[in-house]
Amino acid sequence: MTDYQPLYQALTEIKAGQWVDLLPQQIAAGFDISSHGTSAKWQNIIENLQVPPISVRNLNADKVQIGLTADLTAEQQAQLKTDLMAFHPWRKGPYDLFGIHIDTEWRSDWKWDRLKDHISPLKYRTVLDVGCGNGYHCWRMLGAGAKRVIGIDPTLISVMQFQLIKKLYGNDAPIDVLPVGIEQLPYGMKAFDTVFSMGVLYHRRSPIDHLLELREALKPGGELVLETLVIDGGLGDTLLPEDRYAKMRNVWFLPSCETLISWLKRCGFKNIRIVNVCKTTVEEQRTTEWMTFYSLPNFLNPDNPDLTCEGLPAPMRAIVIADVE
**What pLDDT, in 10s, does the model give residues 128-185?**
999 999 999 999 999 999 999 999 999 999 999 999 999 999 999 999 999 999 999 9
What is the per-residue pLDDT for 35? 75
Query: What structural domains does the chain harbor?
Result: 5-323 (3.40.50.150)
**What pLDDT, in 10s, does the model give residues 284-298?**
999 999 999 999 999
**What pLDDT, in 10s, does the model give residues 104-126?**
999 999 999 999 999 999 999 99
Nearest to 193 by CA among 177, 175, 212, 217: 217
Q: Where are the alpha helices (DSSP H) in the chain?
A: 5-13, 17-30, 39-48, 74-85, 108-115, 136-143, 156-169, 207-217, 257-266, 296-299
**What pLDDT, in 10s, does the model give residues 84-106?**
999 999 999 999 999 999 999 99
| All residues at 6 or more sequence positions from 197 whose CB lies less than 8 Å from its CB, including other chains | 130, 131, 182, 210, 214, 224, 225, 226, 227, 228
Nearest to 147 by CA among 138, 135, 156, 160: 138
Q: What is the DSSP letter of 118?
A: T
Angle between helices 39-48 and 156-169 (to 10 degrees): 0
What is the per-residue pLDDT for 2? 86
| All residues at 6 or more sequence positions from 92 whose CB lies less than 8 Å from its CB, including other chains | 104, 105, 106, 108, 133, 134, 135, 136, 137, 158
Separation of CA 266 from chain center: 26
Q: What are residue 226's DSSP bridge partners?
A: 197, 320
State what percent of residues in the chain have pLDDT above 70.
Answer: 100
Average pLDDT over residues 60-83: 97
Nearest to 293 by CA among 100, 101, 91, 38: 91
**What pLDDT, in 10s, does the model give residues 149-161?**
999 999 999 999 9
